[in-house]
Amino acid sequence: RMWSLIILLLFICACNVHGGTSYCKLTKTGCSGESREFIEVTGDSNPFGNLNGGKSSRPTFTDLDGDYDFDLVVGSESGIKYFENVGTITSPTFNEKTGKDNPFDNMGLYSSPVFFDTDGDNDVDLIVGDGADFEKDGVFDYFENVGNVSVPTFVKRNGTSNPYRNLRSHVP
């Protein structure tokens, strides 16, 4: 049998120094993948077209509000930005949350955020590679989600409460 498969790959150009955001779609057709190509999606079809992740952006996706779609979290040189998906998983619309509406406000300059349920309580915790402090460069900060799946509250854990305390992203 011949099967057709379309795979969407969200690709955000993280190295754009102007803060622009691109979205590309990877298409694969046929069961042996005879045809593959990245096609840039522009204009109103690009769900990231009006977003500014900032310089040196490092995007990641997770469901922060428990509504079964993916929200966008971007680490950049100015901190961590949060864009809530108020659309759907197949037709996303992202709204930036700032100030007290951004659970990552004032954390992680030059950061690389990653979400993982470190403590096994069925909500995502935050692990941040911190590059802002040259004395700390390469250290992983751990923020435990003490809220819940729908309303996260992140608390920084230090010392032995940080399971990533002895890891480094590189050797200085």
Predicted pLDDT of residue 106: 82
Lowest mean pLDDT among 50-59, 67-76, 114-123: 50-59
Work out the pLDDT band at 62, boundaries 50, 70, 90: very high
Give yes or no for residue 172 having a pLDDT over 50. no
SS3 (DSSP) at 101: helix
Mean pLDDT of 94-112: 88
Could you read off the pLDDT of 108-165 as tens digits, one per residue?
A: 778 889 999 999 999 999 998 766 555 556 778 899 999 998 899 999 999 999 999 8
Residue 146: strand, helix, or coil: coil
Structure-token pair, residue 112: 């690389």
Q: Is the pTM of this model over 0.85?
A: no
C-alpha distances in angstroms, 130 versus 45, 78, 82, 97, 124? 34, 12, 17, 21, 19
pLDDT value at residue 71: 94
Mean pLDDT of the chain: 76
Q: Which percentage of the chain shows pLDDT scores above 70?
A: 71
The CA distance from 22 to 44, in Å, is 12
At 6-54, the pLDDT tens digits run 222 333 333 333 445 555 555 555 555 566 676 777 777 777 777 777 7
